[in-house]
Amino acid sequence: MSSLTFKPRRRGGKWPTRLAWLAVILLIVAALLMGGAGPAYRLDLVSLSTSFAWLRQGAHLLIGAGAVGLVALVVAMICRRWRVALVGTLVIVAGASLVALPAQLMQLARSVPPIHDITTDLENPPAFETLAAAREATPNAVAYPGEATARQQRAGYPRLGPLTLDASLGEVRAAAEATARERGWEIAAVEPRRIEATAITRWFGFRDDVVIRLTEMDDGVRVDMRSASRVGKSDLGTNAARIQAFLEALARRVDGGSAP
């Protein structure tokens, strides 16, 4: 006579596991959409509007993944399914970490002026010459946008200004070129009193153009800069940060300099 051995039915059945798997799948799809939005645009696989749509869709899926992960966690705790509870917890933590990026970008967008063309000389901004043709083929203008943009820059970046260096013109030009190359910028032109270059952002590969103007003064060489995005209305503070970081690095490279 044989005896049959029955495995006890797990509390909650398959539903806790199914909820956990659904949360994981939503998290993976969201991560792929958000992580791939920038590289896909950079490789010309999708348009800019499509890549931004991927970011929005990914953020929505992250919220969904977090909600499902929370439900899975609660159900698992009630059913004492500790492995499933762990999965739900990990999904919630991972989702919160990923959603922090778009949240930070939204907060940054509200904290900086919605402009994309920044200069240290608001009265006479350095002009693009060598890069003018490249900029003409893009949405944003070649010429500086004007007083409305200048007014917003004064309010948003009141301390941004030119740098005066106690060195010769040749020394400053060489140091400025070396600093630009050190940052990986594509050098378009190096002239006695000006340098033009293009900086490429890491994630989306946005191309922002930079012009550096050198002017001999009684107390040294004045360095003015202009950094302007080719696409987009707001640069999220990227161009102002680029100018400030460049001038600080240039001042360190040239003895006697002080950043604004």
Write phi, then psi, for 119 (nearest 5 degrees).
-145, 155
From the list 254, 241, 229, the residue with the least C-alpha distance to 48 is 229
Can you say whether residue 222 is alpha, beta or left, with left for phi > 0 and alpha for psi between -120 and 50 degrees?
beta
Percentage of the chain modeled with pLDDT above 70: 93
CATH level 3 topology of 117-253: TATA-Binding Protein (3.30.310)
Count the Cβ atoms, other than its own, within 10 Å of residue 119: 26
User: How far is it, in rounded angstroms, from Cα 137 to Cα 152?
Assistant: 26
Length of the chain equals: 260
Global pTM value: 0.78
Domains of the chain, residue spans = 15-111, 117-253
User: How far is it, in rounded angstroms, from Cα 73 to Cα 92?
Assistant: 9
Beta-carbon contacts of residue 10 (< 8 Å; ≥ 6 apart)? 79, 81
Can you say whether residue 258 is alpha, beta or left, with left for phi > 0 and alpha for psi between -120 and 50 degrees?
beta
pLDDT at 107 (0 to 100): 78
207-228 pLDDT per residue, tens: 999 999 999 999 999 999 999 9
**Average model confidence (pLDDT) for the chain?**
89
Q: From the centroid of its chain, how far is CA 216?
A: 35
Angle between helices 15-42 and 48-79 (to 10 degrees): 160
